[in-house]
């Protein structure tokens, strides 16, 4: 090396100046040899709000009802069903906000959305009950399918939350052949949530970024995000836009 320090064959000289090591933040993602990871904002009737959540193709086939509020074969999930024909992992973000969780006297739905209106709570008498100390069996039904059962419960405070409801532990249990949860709404899609999605998905590693919207402003937003990530950050992925 001659420039700035003369010629030498081993690192035995101290050169003037500063030595700086740049270490990038750890990115959640897949190994370089793996393919099929997609990030996409979606409008849903069930699921967490304000966070990026991951779902594998196996999760979709096995737990779509619990995670998305519909069975994997439901027409409401056709878009995601098509997505997982090629993707093995998806980072999803719910862009519709302002919804309300369905509820009744016993519980409230775990997430806001109209899918919560498909939940019913059944409270029956347990065989161990007495006139002085009633004991109950509590079932949670989702779209007519039993998804949770808790037996031998003496009060609402003993109920454990499940994947569908949050119990009102200060309430009073009473026999019920089926008390539906009502009042659930899914809210509306807010354009600002697309920017929130891009901000929150930036640390993740994915191969494809999708936008399920034909809005020209949003298409430009996603295209500019892709250019910045590729040219300035060095994150290489494809962006899929409508038309």
Q: Where are the domains of the chain?
A: 37-98+187-240, 107-180
The pLDDT score that the predictor gives to residue 30 is 46
pLDDT at 34 over 70: no
Tell me: the pLDDT tens digits for 219-234?
999 999 999 999 998 8
Tell me: the pLDDT tens digits for 99-113?
999 999 999 999 999
Order of strands across the sheet with 176-180?
A: 145-153, 136-142, 119-125, 176-180
The pLDDT score that the predictor gives to residue 4 is 57
The pLDDT score that the predictor gives to residue 35 is 67
Measured CA to CA in angstroms, residue 48 lies from 12, 103, 172 at distances of 57, 17, 28
pLDDT at 1 over 50: no
Domain 37-98+187-240 in CATH 3.40.50.960? The answer is no
C-alpha–C-alpha distance, residues 144 and 119, integer Å? 8
Model confidence at 159, pLDDT cuts 50, 70, 90, reads very high
Average pLDDT over residues 101-130: 94
- Tell me the whole-structure pTM to 2 decimals: 0.79
The pLDDT score that the predictor gives to residue 131 is 76
Q: What is the mean pLDDT of the chain?
A: 88
CATH class of 107-180: mainly beta
Give, as one character, the DSSP assignment of residue 234: -
The pLDDT score that the predictor gives to residue 24 is 56
The pLDDT score that the predictor gives to residue 31 is 45
Tell me: the pLDDT tens digits for 160-192?
999 999 999 998 899 999 999 999 999 999 889
Cβ-count burial of 204 within 10 angstroms (0-12 exposed, 13-18 middle, 19+ buried)? middle
Tell me: the pLDDT tens digits for 50-79?
999 999 999 999 999 999 999 999 999 999
Give the range among 124-133, 180-189, 232-241 with minimum mean pLDDT.
Answer: 124-133
Model confidence at 81, pLDDT cuts 50, 70, 90, reads very high
C-alpha–C-alpha distance, residues 90 and 209, integer Å? 10
The pLDDT score that the predictor gives to residue 11 is 63
Average pLDDT over residues 191-210: 94
């Amino acid at each position: 090396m001659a420039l700035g320090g003369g010629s030498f064959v081993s690192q035995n000289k101290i050169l003037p100046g500063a030595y700086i090591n740049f270490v990038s933040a750890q990115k959640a993602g897949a190994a370089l040899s793996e393919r099929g990871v997609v990030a996409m904002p979606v409008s849903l009737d069930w699921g967490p709000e304000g966070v990026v959540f991951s779902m594998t193709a196996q999760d979709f086939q096995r737990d779509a009802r619990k995670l998305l509020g519909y069975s994997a074969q439901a027409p409401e999930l056709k878009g995601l069903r098509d997505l997982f024909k090629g993707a093995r992992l998806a980072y999803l973000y719910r862009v519709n906000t302002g919804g309300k969780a369905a509820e009744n006297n016993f519980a409230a739905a775990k997430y806001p959305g109209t899918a919560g209106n498909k939940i019913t709570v059944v409270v029956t008498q347990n065989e161990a009950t007495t006139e002085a100390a009633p004991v109950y069996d509590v079932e949670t039904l989702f779209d007519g399918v039993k998804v949770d059962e808790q037996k031998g419960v003496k009060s609402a405070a003993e109920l454990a939350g499940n994947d569908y409801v949050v119990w009102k532990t200060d309430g009073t249990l009473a026999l019920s052949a089926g008390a539906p949860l009502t009042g659930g709404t899914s809210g509306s899609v807010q354009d600002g949530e697309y920017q929130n999605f891009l901000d929150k998905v930036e640390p993740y590693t994915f191969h494809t970024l999708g936008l399920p919207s034909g809005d020209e402003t949003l298409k430009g937003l996603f295209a500019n995000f892709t250019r910045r990530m590729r040219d300035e950050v060095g994150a290489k992925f494809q962006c899929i836009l409508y038309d």
